[in-house]
Homo-oligomer: A and B are copies of this chain.
Amino acid sequence: MAGGVASRHAASDDDGLVQIGVLAERVGLSLRSVRYYEEVGLLTPTTRSVGGFRLYGPEQEERLLLIKQMKPLGFSLDEMRELLDMLDDGAKATPGSKKARRLAVELDREIDEVVSRRHELEKQLDAVDRLARSLRTMSRHLAATDED
């Protein structure tokens, strides 16, 4: 092991921990969003540096990525927290145990919700396609120079 040295520009740590700037950049969210998610209990930093800087591990990055991916479905942050906490509970539970089976049932409900919202969104995308086509028609109509 390389020991607890290094960290160029204090951007990343030997432990694989990263500052909020790196995390936000990687996932594609604003610093404000990440901090806000902490405010509402959706994403807690793994730890803090001596100077008070938030430091995040890979599990937090994974969690943040899930959050970002769920955004287009229009879940509230509270609903996302519910689902993500459920997943964390699931990771700790023994498969087949009573607790795990109860979790699976709840999880199935969440999955149904995800799928149904996904289908809604897909229908809306189809509507967007029709819109784009009619916009193109309109544009060609307007630009018509009578030379064809």
Contacts and interface: CB of A to CB of B under 8 A. Distances in A.
Interface of A: 66, 69-73, 87, 90, 93, 95-96, 100-101, 103-105, 107-108, 110-111, 114-115, 118, 121-122, 124-125, 127-129, 131-132, 135-136, 138-146
A138 B72 contact: no
**How many copies make up the complex?**
2
Contacts of A142: 90, 93, 95-96, 100-101, 103-104, 107
Contacts of A128: 69-70, 72-73, 114, 118
Q: Is the interface of A mostly helix, strand, loop or mixed?
A: helix
28 contacts: A66-B131, A69-B127, A69-B131, A70-B131, A71-B124, A72-B72, A72-B121, A72-B124, A72-B128, A90-B138, A95-B141, A96-B142, A100-B142, A101-B142, A101-B143, A104-B139, A104-B140, A107-B135, A111-B135, A111-B136, A111-B139, A114-B128, A118-B125, A118-B128, A118-B132, A121-B121, A121-B125, A122-B125
Contacts of A66: 131
Nearest to A129: B118
Closest 5 CB pairs of A and B: A104-B143, A104-B142, A100-B142, A69-B127, A107-B139
Given A72-B72, A124-B72, A132 B144 contact: no
Q: A69, A111, A114, A128: which has the most chain B beta carbons within 10 Å?
A: A128
